[in-house]
Each structure stands twice: as C-alpha cells, then as structure tokens.
C-alpha cells in the first residue's frame, strides 16, 4: 500500500514541478498535459527505484533534474540551456516551498523529524500533499495574474541557434550551476543535518533568489 502511495505522490510531485516550471515562464500547460503525465510517471518510477529498490537516495534529486532536462530537450525540443534553466527554477521553487511547509507542520506537531527523512510514512505523505496543493495554487495564481518570465519562446526551438553570451547570461549560468549543485546535495544535507530545520532553506533560497533577480533583468532587456 505504501509503495503504491509513494509512486502516486511521486507522480503528483513531478507533475506539480512541471506545472510550476511552465507557469513561471508563461508557457502553455494544457497542450502538454499528456506529455507531463508521461514524464511524471517515468520520474516517479525512477525515484522509486533509486530510493526504495537501490537505496541511493543521495543521487535521486540530481537524477530527477537530469531526466527533466532530457525530457524537455527530446519531447518539447527546448534547447539544453533553457531546459536546465527552467528546470532549476521549478525544482528550487518546489523545494523552497516544501522547506517552508515542513517546519510549519513540525511546529504544530503534525509531522516528526523522521517524517522528513522517511520515504513511506504517513507524515511524509502529508508533507508532500500540502506542498503539492500549495505549488499548484501558486502556479495557478502566476497564470491568472500573468506573472512569470516571457523571454523563453514557446517550443519547439531552433536547437542549433546559439544565443549571445553577455555578462548577464554568464551570471545566470553561474546561478544555474549553483542551483544544480544545491539540488544535487539537498537529500544529503537532509539526512545528516541535526540543527534547526529552518537553516536548510537558506542554501535553496540563495541560488533561487539570485536566478529570479537576474531572470527579471533579462526579461526587462528582452521587453
């Protein structure tokens, strides 16, 4: 039963990340729902194999990030740079929201510290459920009020076109690399950290806020 719930919530987690990712860049969602479902299924199964079967939790977030970039490149024909960029924004935003929700639930006694490190506990599923609902709501609000970035064109892209490398793009790439490193090490820090859980949100928010600031500037230049 809990294995089924892990796969189910893994699917919903992945779907909400994809939903938020596209909403953040004003890309259409409804026309890609079938593709999102295929991707979310593959990502959920991959996560189950990594965490439950092989017990290699430390590589799972990095593997998920890599797979999403590959899917964006192959299914949607989005260039690798843009694929990595929008994936980083979506994933960092999701984790940032989750790392706010988790301590709040912890403070109310609704979950325990072990729930944040477990895979198939009821408290773990509660954290995922509330995070997913929150992310979907935020994504819906972004679309409703027409927020988000508009400098990335709707796919398919010209995969052989190379953009100009300027100072701002170099900063964005540096922020992207920092974001990828943060995502790749998140699970490791969750398992070894013994202090105040709120501290863990700082390494997630830092690259996210830097990227959002620089992407806002990029959007203004394009406009």
Q: Helices 2-24 & 122-144, crossing angle to 10 degrees?
A: 20
Angle between helices 202-222 and 167-192 (to 10 degrees): 160
DSSP per residue, 151-167: -SPPSSP-TT------H
- Write the pLDDT tens digit of every residue in 146-190: 998 988 888 877 777 776 767 888 888 888 888 888 777 766 666
Q: What angle do CA 80, 86, 87 make, to 5 degrees?
A: 85
What are the tens digits of pLDDT across the range 24-75?
A: 999 999 999 999 999 999 999 999 999 888 888 878 888 999 999 999 999 9
Q: Which H or E run contains 4? A: helix 2-24
For 150, phi then psi, to 5°, come to -125, 10
Strand extents, DSSP E, 113-221:
none
Residue 196 DSSP code: -
């Amino acid at each position: 039963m809990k294995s089924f719930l892990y796969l189910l919530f893994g699917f919903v987690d992945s779907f909400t990340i994809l939903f938020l990712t596209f909403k953040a860049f004003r890309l259409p969602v409804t026309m890609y729902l079938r593709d999102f479902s295929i991707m979310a299924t593959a990502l959920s199964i991959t996560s189950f194999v990594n965490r439950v079967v092989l017990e290699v939790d430390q590589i799972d977030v990095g593997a998920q990030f890599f797979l999403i970039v590959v899917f964006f490149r192959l299914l949607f024909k989005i260039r690798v740079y843009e694929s990595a960029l929008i994936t980083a924004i979506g994933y960092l935003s999701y984790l940032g929201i989750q790392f706010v929700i988790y301590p709040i639930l912890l403070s109310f006694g609704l979950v325990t510290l072990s729930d944040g490190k477990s895979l198939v506990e009821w408290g773990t599923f509660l954290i995922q459920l509330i995070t997913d609902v929150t992310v979907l709501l935020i994504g819906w609000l972004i679309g409703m009020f027409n927020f988000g970035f508009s400098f990335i064109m709707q796919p398919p892209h010209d995969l052989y076109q190379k953009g100009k490398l300027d100072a701002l793009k170099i900063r964005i790439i540096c922020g992207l690399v920092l974001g990828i490193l943060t995502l790749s090490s998140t699970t490791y820090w969750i398992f070894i950290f013994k202090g105040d859980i709120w501290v863990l949100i700082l390494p997630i928010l830092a690259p996210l806020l830097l990227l959002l600031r620089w992407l806002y500037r990029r959007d203004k230049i394009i406009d």
